[in-house]
Structure 1
Amino acid sequence: MGPLTGLFRPARIAVVGATDREGSVGRAILENLEPFDGDVVAVNPGREEVLGRPCYPDLASVPDPVDLAVVVVPPQVVVEVVRDAGEAGVENVVVITAGFGETGGDGAKREHELVDVAEQYGLNLVGPNCLGVMNSQVGMNATFGPDMALPGNISLMSQSGAFITAVLDWANDQDIGFKDVVSLGNKAVLDETDFVRSWGDDPDTDVVLGYLESIRDGREFIEVARETTQDTPVVVVKSGRTDAGAKAASSHTGAIAGSEAAYEAGLEQAGVLRAESVQQLFDAARVLSGQPVPESDSVAVVTNAGGPGVMATDAIGDSSLSLASFSEETLSRLKTELPAEANVYNPVDAIGDADIGRFESAIDAVLSDENVSAVVVVSAPTAVLDYADLAELVIEQQAEHGKPVVTCFMGGDRTAEAADLLREAGIPNYFDPGRAVDSVDTLARYRRISQTTYEPAARFDVDRDAAREVLEGAKERGDHRLGVEAMGLLDAYGIPTPAGEIVDSPDEAVSVAADIEGPVVMKIVSPDILHKSDIGGVKVGVETDDVADSFEDLITRARNYQPDATILGVQVQEMVDLDAGTETIVGVNRDPQFGPLVLFGLGGIFVEVLEDTTVRVAPVSESEARAMVDDIQAAPLLRGARGRTPADVDAVVETIQRLSQLVTDFPQILELDVNPLVAGPDGVCAIDVRLTVDTEEL
C-alpha cells in the first residue's frame, strides 16, 4: 500500500463495469465523472462503446496507464478484476460492489480473497460495498451519489454511503465545501487510520471529519491520530453505542468498561474531537476551518439583547471556557463610548437601541484587550440595526485583530444576507447562543489537543518469569478464572499486597497466622467460587486460637455450596484497616478494537452502584494515570477533603501504570480486578484480585 495521491488525484480513471443501461451504477459513475479534469475510460467485455466512449474488454487492453480503477461488476468476478488491476499496474482501486463480508458465508470468503490480492499487489483499495470517492480539486466524482461536493478545505470519511449523500445535499445548500470525500465501505484494506494519516500530511485539508461505526485497529488509530491532530483537527461522530460488551463481561471492570467506554477513552487519547450529532460535527468543521485557535479560554460576549447575552454567559459556564476579565483600559473605554445604561462588564450589553457605531466601539474594545482571546457577538433584530452592516463590521474587526469571532444573529429571513457574508469570511453564525459558545469551546479544546505532548508509558523493573509461572499454573489446572491464588501476579509486578500465604491444612494455617501480627483474614481459594463473601467464604479478624477451626469451617462451607468445586486451599492474610484509607479499584477489560482498557475509580462493594470510574487505553503513561485519578468524582477524598488524611496519590498513579504494564505484557489476561486497592497515606495495598485468562494463548 502506497501514498493515496493517486486515489484522490488520478490522471486517468477506468470504470470497470461501465454501461449505458439506464438506472445502473456503472452508468451513474461514468456520468458523474464527466466534469473530471483527467481521462476516463470504460471497461466492459460486453460493450464496444459506452456513452460515446470507446470501451475495452479488460484493464490489460487499455492502451495507457490507469491510476484508479472503479470496479462495478458482480461480486463473483470482483476478485478476478482486482487481480487484473494489479497485473496491469493499477495502484488504486475502489470496489463499489456489495456482497462481501457484510453478507457472511461466501461473501466473507470473497473478501478474504480480495484482501490477499490487494496485499499481493500492494493496492490502495477502498471498499468493497461503498459509495466511492470524490476530490473537488480535480472535479472527480467517482461515486454513484446524486451530488458532487463543493470545493473546500474539509475532508470527509464515512462508513455509511447514505450519510455522505445526505450530507452533501445539505452541505451544498449551506455552501460547505470539501476537498476529499471517501465512503469506507467494509474497510477490507484501507480504513479510517489510513485516511487520517494521509490527510494529516495534506496541506489542502484543514479539518478531517468522520462518521464511524467502528475502528478497526484502535491502538494504531490512537498513534496516527495523535500525530495528525498536532496540526490538523479530527472530528468524529461515532455511532453504534452498545452495552453488548458489558453484558458479556464477568468482572466489575468488564461490566463498566464496555464498548462505548473504550471508544470514549480511545478517541480522547487520540486527540480526536467527538461530536454527538451531525449538527455538532459541522458546527465544529465550520469554526475549525474558518477561525484561528484562541490563545486562552477567556471569552467576551458583546450583545444588544440582555436575555440572549445571559444565555451565552450560561453556556460559557457549562463549557471549558471562562468569561474574560477586562483590563482597566478596556473598562474605561467602554464607559466612555457606551451609554450610561449599558453594561460594560462581561457580557457587554450595548442595550437594545445599539446602532452599528456602538457595536463597533464595543467589539473593537474587547478584541483589543489582551485578556480576551475570543468574542461571541450576539444580536437581536432592531429597527436601528442592519444585520448586513453588522456582519461587515464583524468581518473587518476579526481580520484586524486576528482573534476568533463567532456570531449569533437571531432572526429569520433578515439574517440571510448577513449569514452569507459571514460564511464567505469563514465566520460561523448561529441562531442559538449556546451553539455559538460551543463552537468557541471547540476551538479551545482543539488548542489544548494541539499543545499536548504525549509521553511514552514507563517500563518498570518487574519479574515477568514469576508472573508467567502463576498463569502457567492456571493453565495446568485448567482454570480460566482466578482469584486470590493469583496474588503472585501483583507481587511480581511490584504492586503491594498484604502478607500471607495459601495453605492446605489447619496446621499450616496456624503457622502462617503466627507470623502475622494481630488478627488475620481467611478466604477460601477456589477458581470456581469467585464471590466468596456471598457464601461465607471470607472470615475477617480471626484470632490465632480460632485459625484452625476457621480453616475447617471455610472448607466445609465451600464443599456444601459447590461439592464439585476445585478447592486450592485457604488464604491466610494480614488484616488491613480499610478505614485507614480509601477503597479504590484498578481493573482491566480487553476491548476487541482497542485492546486492554485500564479502569480506575472508587472501589469496594459499591463500584458498580456508584460507577465513579474512568477508563484509558493501555499502555497508560504517568500523566494519563494521574489524569485518571483526577477524573473521578471521589478525587477530593484521595487528596484529603473534609479533614481526611490525604492518600499517597503517587502510589496510586504508579499502581495504575504497573497494572497497565502487566496486561500489556500478558495479552492472555482478558479481565482483571484489583478491588479493593486501599489507598492510604503511606502507600497502597491490593486486598483482593480476580481475573479471567485465555489459557490457550499461553
Structure 2
Amino acid sequence: MSTRYLESLFNPESIAVIGASERSDNLGGMVLRNMLGGGFPGRMVVVNQNDYDNVHGVPCVAKVSQLDFTPDLAIVCTPPNTVPKMIRKLGESGVRTAIVMTGGMSRTHSKTGQPLMYSVRDAARETGIRVLGPNTIGLMVPARHLNATYAHMGAIPGRVAFIGQSGTIASSVLDWAFARGVGFSYFLTLGDGMDIDHDDLIDYLAQDSQTRAILLHIESIPNPSRFMSAVRVASRTKPVIAVKSGRVPESEWIPHDLPAGVCHSDPIYDAMLQRGGVLRVDGLGQMFDALETLTRMRPLRRESLAIIANGVGPGVLAVDRLSHLGGELAELSDTTIEELGKLLPPYWTRKNPIDLNYDASPELYGKAVKILAKDPNIANVLVMYAPTLVQDSLQIADAVVQASKGTRLNILTCWLGQSTVMDSREEFYRAGLPSFFNPEKAVNAFMQHVKHQRVQRLLSETPESFTDHFADRANTRSLVAKALRDGRKHLSSREARQVIRDYGINAIETVYCDDVEEVLEMFAVERRPIDLTIVHEQVCYPFLELTPTQRRYKGTIKNLNSEQAIIDGCRFLVDEYKKHFPDSGFLGFGMQHSYQHIGGIEFSVGITRDEVFGPLVVCGAAGAQINITTDRQIALPPLNMVLARELLRRTYMYKLLKEHSLRPQEDIRAVSETLVKLSQIVIDIPEIRGLEISPLLFNDQGAIAVSIAVDLDEKPSRPIIQAYPRELEEWIVLPKSGKRVIIRPVLAQDEPAHRAFHEYQSPESIRYRFFQYRKHFSREDVAQMVQIDYDREMVFIANAKKEDGDGEETLGTVRVWTDADNLRSEFAVMVDDRMKGEGLGVALMQKMIEYCRSRGTMEMVGDVLPENRPMLQLAEQLGFDIRFNPVEEVMDLRLVLNEPEKDWQKERLKKRGG
C-alpha cells in the first residue's frame, strides 16, 4: 500500500508513448490519437524502434536511451515479450510511472515458465518504477485534458473517480455515465494489477479534494488486508460504491478455494465490503442510481419513506418494492392527515402512499410537499408523476422543486415514462434532486442510501461495554501447542470443551468414557437418564461435509435409563459409526445427563479460515433437518457486541429467535457474546484453523454449547483487520500523586470516558488542541476519535480508576495519523488540566515516539500555536526541531525517527519540507 509516485501518474507534465505508430489498428497509435484529441497540454514523445521522425505530429525516437528528457509517465504498448525489459529500462532511466496496456501477459510465459506479468512486477520492484497494468484500458483525468486510453470516447470532467478491472466494462461505464451527465475526476482500470492496486489508488483518492465519491468494479482482491485498511479510511470521508463480479463459481475469473463450512465465496466479499464501509450494489445501473442518491441527498434522519403519486398504481408498485427490500413506510401524523384532507377528496385513503388523483395540479403537488415537510415523522419523500392529458409535467416538476427549497426533506422523484418527461428530469437534475424513470429504480436507490448509512454506522458505532469473562488463556495456548507438537491436526472433544470454557462459553456437562463398561460405571453413580454420543476422529473436525448416506447417520441416542438400554445403545452407535465412517478411528463415548434445562432454537456458530481473507466468524442455523449452509452468515474478526449483533441479525434464525424465544433479548445477547468470544479465541490463538459449536442452545444461564469441534494448523492466520494490540499496554505510576495509570491503545468502548475527558478541559486547553474554542463534542465526534484503524492510526490513552472506584477516567491522550507510505506521522497530544506537572505528557509522547519508530516511520510532525508554551517546552525536551511557519502562523514541530533509505523516500520528505 503506497501512493509513491502516483502524482506522476495522475498529473504528469510529460508523457512518452512506447510503441505508437500511425497504423489504424496500432494500440499505441490509438492512445496517442486520444491524447491529442483530448488536448493534453504537456510534453509528448513517441518511442518506436522504426525511428520515425514523428507519429501523428509527435516527435519520435528509436530508443528510450535517446530521450533528451525523463518523462513523468511512460505508456507501454509493445508486444508481450518486450514489456519486462522495457519496464526495466524505463525504471533505470528514472521514469517514475508507467501504464502497460499490452494484454495477454497472463497467458504468455517467460523462459522460467511463469506468466510474463510477473516478470513485469519483478522489474518494477527492482527499479522502483510504479506500473499500472498490464492489460489496462489506461487512465483519464478529464480536468487535465488527459485521455491516455484506447477507449471509444472520453469522459466529461466531474467529481467521481472510477477504478475498474475490466476494460470492456469500463467502456460501457463511460457510455452510461455520459448519458446520465456523470463526470469523472479520474477514470482507469487496473488490468492485471501487478504493482498499483486498489489500495494504492483508494489511498490517493481519499486525500484528493477533487473526488467526492469513488466507484469500484472488483473482480478479485489479492491483498484483502491492505484493501480493507485503505477503504476504511476513504469511506469515512466520501461514498465508496462497489460492484463485485464473479458472484457464483461459474463466473469467477480465478476460482476461490472455499474454507470449511462455506459453500460460496461471495458472502466473504459481502462481509468484507460491509466492514469497510463500502456500499455494494448488484450492477452498473444500481451503481449510478446509488451515486445519484448518495451525492444529491442529505444524510437520512429516518429510514422510512413517504410516497406521493397522481394515482394508485405507481404508489402500489413503490410500496411493493419497498417491502421486498425490507424498507419502511413513514407513518403520517394526525395533523398531516387533517391538512391533506382539506386538499383531497373525502374518499382518499388517509394513509401513506398518498394518492393526489389523476388530475393533480402543480399547486396541489407543491402544497402536499410543504405539508409533509412540517411532519416530524417524515424525512424522505418519493414524489411520483404519471403523464396525463390535463396537466403539464414540467410545471409540476417546477412546483416540486420550489416546494422542496428550504425544507429538511430528502426528496427523490420519479416521472414515469420517457419521451414526454425528459424536460422534467433535466429540471430535477439542475435542482440537485435525484430522478428516476420507474418506481422500482427510485425505491432501489433510496434503499441503497439506507444501506450505505447503516454500513457507515457500523464504522462509527460505539459498542456497548462487554465484560471480559475470559479465564486462563495461557492454559488454552499450551493445550493447542502440545497438540501441534504431538503432530495432531485436531483437538479431542474434551480438549475442545476446555478451550471454549477458558473463554467463558458454557458447555453442557459431558463425561467421556473409553468403552461401554466405563459408561455403565458412570451411570451407576446417580442412575439418572443419560444421552449417549459416539466419538470418533472425523467428528472432531469442524464443518464436517457429509455424503448423502452419512446424513442419515445417527450418532446420539437420548434418554437411556437402564443398563440394558445403555448396552444396546452403545452397540447400535458402534454399528452406525462403522457403517458410515469405517475409516475414522474410534475414540469412545460422550455421556450427558438427559435433563439439563436446555432447548429452544438451535444455532451453529464458529470460526473457519479462508486462505486469502484469513479467519472468519460464522453464524446460522443448526439441526439435521435443514440445510445449515443456506443460513450461514459471515463476519470478519475482531468483533464487538455491535458487530456481533449485526452478524446475528443477518441470519434467518434471528427472526425465529425474536418471534419464538421466551427471552428474546437475553438470548440475542447470549449469542452475540458467544460470537465475540469466538472472535477473541482466533485472535489469541491464530493456530486454531476452525472451531464449530453445533448446536448452541439456551438455558437459564444463557447460551450453552452441546457439540464442539476444533481443528488446528501449524501456520498461524491473522485477521485482515488488525485486532486490539494488547501487547502495547503499559502501567506507570505518576511521580507526584502516586496515581497508577495504564497507557494503552484506545478502544471503541472508551467513547464515554473520552467524551467526558474533552468536555472537562478548560477552554484554553481545547483551543491549544483543536485550534479553536469548542464547548461541545457530539457522540459522532468522539466516536470517530475512538473508532480507529490500528493499521493507519494510533491513539494511546492514559486511564486511571475514578476516585469513587466506579469505572475508569481518561487523563490524557496522544494520537498520530500516518500516511499510506509510512513516511510521516502527524501527532496531537492533550493532558487533563489536573495532571499538569505529573509528566504524563512526556510519558504519552515517549510511548508514541517509540511506537512510530518501531513501525519504521521516518518522522513525526505537528503544529502548535505559538502561545502554547507548555507544548513547545515538551517538544524541545523530546528533541523536536521547532520552526515558525509564517504562512499558517503556527510553530512547525519535526522529529526524525528513522533515516530514509530509498531515493523516493528522500525526495518525498524533501518535497514536503523535510
Q: Partners of 1:259 and 1:153 in 2: how far apart? A: 33
Report if the CA contact (8 A) 1:25-1:72 is conserved.
yes
2:262 maps to which of 243, 250, 254: 254
Code of the aligned partner of 1:493: Y
Name the stretch that deviates more: 656-665 or 610-619: 610-619
Report if the CA contact (8 A) 1:127-1:188 is conserved.
yes
Code of the aligned partner of 2:244: K
Superposed CA offset, 1:179-237 (max 9, x none) = 21111111222222333333232222222212212222334433433332223112212
Alignment map for 1:269-668 (pairs within 5 Å): 269-319=275-325, 321-327=327-333, 330-331=336-337, 333-336=339-342, 345-401=351-407, 403-452=409-458, 453-454=460-461, 461=470, 463-472=472-481, 474-475=483-484, 479-480=488-489, 484=493, 486-487=495-496, 488-504=498-514, 509=519, 518-528=528-538, 537-542=555-560, 545=563, 565-575=584-594, 577=596, 580-608=599-627, 611-635=630-654, 637-639=656-658, 641=660, 648-668=667-687
After superposition, the Cα gap between the structure-2 partners of 1:215 and 1:348, relative to the gap in structure 1 and judged at 3 Å, is: same
Code of the aligned partner of 2:246: G
Instruction: Tell me, yes or no, if structure 1 residue 69 matches structure 2 residue 74.
Output: yes
| 1:173 alignment partner in structure 2 | 179
1:201 maps to which of 192, 204, 207: 207
2:25 maps to which of 13, 23, 26: 23
1:10 maps to which of 7, 12, 19: 12
After superposition, the Cα gap between the structure-2 partners of 1:125 and 1:136, relative to the gap in structure 1 and judged at 3 Å, is: same
TM superposition shift of 1:676: 1.1
Q: For 2:360, what is the secondary structure of its paired residue?
A: coil
Q: Partners of 1:15 and 1:305 in 2: how far apart? A: 59
Q: Partners of 1:500 and 1:332 in 2: how far apart? A: 66
After superposition, the Cα gap between the structure-2 partners of 1:182 and 1:613, relative to the gap in structure 1 and judged at 3 Å, is: same
Report if the CA contact (8 A) 1:510-1:544 is conserved.
no
What value does the CA root-mean-square deviation take over the aligned residues? Answer: 3.6
Superposed CA offset, 1:64-105 (max 9, x none) = 342222221222222222223333333322211123335577
Code of the aligned partner of 1:205: T
Code of the aligned partner of 1:15: V
| 1:53 alignment partner in structure 2 | 58
Report if the CA contact (8 A) 2:109-2:116 is conserved.
no
| 2:709 alignment partner in structure 1 | 690
After superposition, the Cα gap between the structure-2 partners of 1:479 and 1:100, relative to the gap in structure 1 and judged at 3 Å, is: farther
TM superposition shift of 1:150: 1.4
Q: Partners of 1:393 and 1:535 in 2: how far apart? A: 69
After superposition, the Cα gap between the structure-2 partners of 1:59 and 1:339, relative to the gap in structure 1 and judged at 3 Å, is: farther
Report if the CA contact (8 A) 1:311-1:433 is conserved.
yes
After superposition, the Cα gap between the structure-2 partners of 1:313 and 1:650, relative to the gap in structure 1 and judged at 3 Å, is: closer
Q: Partners of 2:676 and 2:521 in 1: how far apart? A: 35
Q: For 1:179, what is the secondary structure of its paired residue?
A: strand
After superposition, the Cα gap between the structure-2 partners of 1:686 and 1:201, relative to the gap in structure 1 and judged at 3 Å, is: same
Q: For 1:254, what is the secondary structure of its paired residue?
A: coil
Report if the CA contact (8 A) 1:231-1:450 is conserved.
no
After superposition, the Cα gap between the structure-2 partners of 1:85 and 1:406, relative to the gap in structure 1 and judged at 3 Å, is: same
Report if the CA contact (8 A) 1:598-1:660 is conserved.
yes
Higher RCO (Cα < 8 Å, 6 or more apart): 1
1:117 maps to which of 114, 123, 128: 123
Superposed CA offset, 1:441-469 (max 9, x none) = 22333333334415689777454554445
Q: Partners of 2:163 and 2:413 in 1: how far apart? A: 28
Instruction: Tell me, yes or no, if structure 1 residue 680 matches structure 2 residue 699.
Output: yes
Report if the CA contact (8 A) 2:262-2:629 is conserved.
no
Q: Partners of 1:319 and 1:553 in 2: how far apart? A: 49
TM superposition shift of 1:162: 0.1
Q: For 1:267, what is the secondary structure of its paired residue?
A: helix
Instruction: Tell me, yes or no, if structure 1 residue 132 matches structure 2 residue 151.
Output: no
Name the stretch that deviates more: 481-490 or 121-130: 481-490
Report if the CA contact (8 A) 2:363-2:399 is conserved.
no
Code of the aligned partner of 1:490: I
Q: Partners of 1:338 and 1:641 in 2: how far apart? A: 43
| 1:192 alignment partner in structure 2 | 198
Report if the CA contact (8 A) 1:581-1:647 is conserved.
no
Report if the CA contact (8 A) 2:370-2:404 is conserved.
no
Superposed CA offset, 1:289-339 (max 9, x none) = 333333222433232223213323333444454433445655555444556
| 1:93 alignment partner in structure 2 | 98
Name the stretch that deviates more: 637-646 or 358-367: 637-646
After superposition, the Cα gap between the structure-2 partners of 1:240 and 1:351, relative to the gap in structure 1 and judged at 3 Å, is: same
| 2:874 alignment partner in structure 1 | none
Name the stretch that deviates more: 667-676 or 552-561: 552-561
Q: How many residues align?
A: 695
2:247 maps to which of 241, 251, 263: 241
After superposition, the Cα gap between the structure-2 partners of 1:545 and 1:380, relative to the gap in structure 1 and judged at 3 Å, is: closer
Name the stretch that deviates more: 154-163 or 115-124: 115-124
Between the two proteins, what is the percent identity of the paired residues?
29
Name the stretch that deviates more: 662-671 or 559-568: 559-568
Superposed CA offset, 1:467-525 (max 9, x none) = 44554555466554666254233234332223345444566555655677834444443
Q: Partners of 2:427 and 2:352 in 1: how far apart? A: 27
Name the stretch that deviates more: 51-60 or 321-330: 321-330
Report if the CA contact (8 A) 1:305-1:378 is conserved.
no
TM superposition shift of 1:138: 0.8
Q: Partners of 1:481 and 1:673 in 2: how far apart? A: 12
Normalization by structure 1: what TM-score?
Answer: 0.88
Report if the CA contact (8 A) 1:299-1:323 is conserved.
yes
After superposition, the Cα gap between the structure-2 partners of 1:211 and 1:653, relative to the gap in structure 1 and judged at 3 Å, is: same
Superposed CA offset, 1:583-611 (max 9, x none) = 21112332344222212122232352584
After superposition, the Cα gap between the structure-2 partners of 1:448 and 1:504, relative to the gap in structure 1 and judged at 3 Å, is: closer
Name the stretch that deviates more: 348-357 or 311-320: 311-320
Q: Partners of 2:351 and 2:491 in 1: how far apart? A: 62
Report if the CA contact (8 A) 1:583-1:604 is conserved.
yes
TM superposition shift of 1:551: 6.5
After superposition, the Cα gap between the structure-2 partners of 1:243 and 1:19, relative to the gap in structure 1 and judged at 3 Å, is: closer
TM superposition shift of 1:124: 3.6
TM superposition shift of 1:159: 1.4
TM superposition shift of 1:133: 1.3
Q: Partners of 2:606 and 2:138 in 1: how far apart? A: 42
Report if the CA contact (8 A) 1:230-1:451 is conserved.
no
Q: Partners of 1:500 and 1:373 in 2: how far apart? A: 55
Q: Partners of 2:288 and 2:107 in 1: how far apart? A: 29
TM superposition shift of 1:691: 4.2
Code of the aligned partner of 1:498: I
Report if the CA contact (8 A) 1:44-1:58 is conserved.
yes
Report if the CA contact (8 A) 2:274-2:455 is conserved.
no
After superposition, the Cα gap between the structure-2 partners of 1:23 and 1:606, relative to the gap in structure 1 and judged at 3 Å, is: same
Code of the aligned partner of 2:203: R
Report if the CA contact (8 A) 1:637-1:646 is conserved.
no
Q: Partners of 2:381 and 2:581 in 1: how far apart? A: 68
After superposition, the Cα gap between the structure-2 partners of 1:152 and 1:342, relative to the gap in structure 1 and judged at 3 Å, is: farther
Q: Partners of 1:333 and 1:562 in 2: how far apart? A: 73
Which runs of 5 or more structure 1 residues have no equivalent in the other structure? none
